Structures are given as C-alpha cells and as structure tokens.
Amino acid sequence: MGATPSTNPGFYRLNTVPTPNSAFEFYTVKASSKQGVCMVRGTGLTIKNDPSGSLTKANFNSLKAALSSKYGTSEDFDFIKGSSIWKDSNDWMMSIKQEDRNLVSFWQPTASNKLPKGYAIMLKVSALSSTDGWISVVYEFPNTEACTDEINLNKGDGL
C-alpha cells in the first residue's frame, strides 16, 4: 500500500487504498508504532465555483446517505452563527471558510446504529475560498486516544 510521512507527527498520506471512493482525492492515516492505525481520513475532491454551496451540499448529502445506510442514524449539525455577516445565499461557502457555518454529521455507537463500540465517524464540509470547498470523512478507532498519547509523548524524540 505504501505511505508518505506528513509534516504532522504520526500522520501518513497513503499512496493507494484497497477500496477507494471516487469522491475522495487522497487518504491519510494516523498511526503510532505501538497502537498501529487509529484514524483514517478521506479528503474529498475540490468542488469549484460553488459560492452558494449547492453542489457541495448535494455531495455531502449523498455521502451521508451512503454512510447512514451502512452505519445507521447520524447526529447532524447544520447551522450558522447568529453574528455572522455571511448569511446571503451566495455567501454559503464563505461562511464555511470563515468558520461561521458548520455542516457536519457524526456517527457514534448507539442502540440504533451499526457502529461497533469505540468507533466514530465524522463527515464534514470545509472551504478553501469563497467559492471552493471539499468534504472529508474521518474514521476513528478505539485506540485513538492511546495512539495520540503515544505520538505526543514521542514529539520530543531527537531533541
């Protein structure tokens, strides 16, 4: 499979994945030597020239539907801060860029979904500019906290 280390300790960009999804440009893992892989992130293709977010929202909803059919009901957050100046329909992507708006869904183990204990999934919209954005999906595993602790402990190595 192969991976290239990131500038962030513990993160690696994968050269290939076993089953890629066409909505994602690349995949990153978080891993430590003792814990192994503890997180996988798919970073979506850039959605260009979409200031109103209509294509971005449609792609988000399509991915959300696919995840929901596999893992069950998500907890959804789709809101804009009351103090935001980016409220017009053509300001949707800018409001994401300025972190005034959120569009994110989470899956965590509950009695009503199919996610095993200790796992979590997040689907999120992010923006590069007032017109361009992307969607990412993050899968966290039960060892995420221990993995992060190990990576943080090793940050001083070589000093």
- C-alpha pair distances (Å), 63 with each of 9, 57, 85: 29, 10, 29
Structural element, H or E, at residue 4: strand 3-5
154 has pLDDT over 80: no
SS (H, E, C) 5-51: ECCCCCEEEECCCCCCCCCEEEEEEEEECCCEEEEEEEEECCECCCC
- Which tops the pLDDT comparison, 129 or 1? 129
Q: pLDDT digits over 44-98, tens only?
A: 999 999 999 999 999 999 999 999 999 999 999 999 999 999 999 999 999 999 9
Residue pair 27/20 in contact by the 8 Å Cβ criterion: yes
Strands 24-32 and 11-14: antiparallel
pTM of the full structure: 0.92
Which domains does the chain show, CATH number per domain? 3-152 (3.40.1000)
3-state DSSP assignment of residue 156: helix
8 residue type, one letter:
N
- Residue 158 banded pLDDT, cuts 50, 70, 90: low
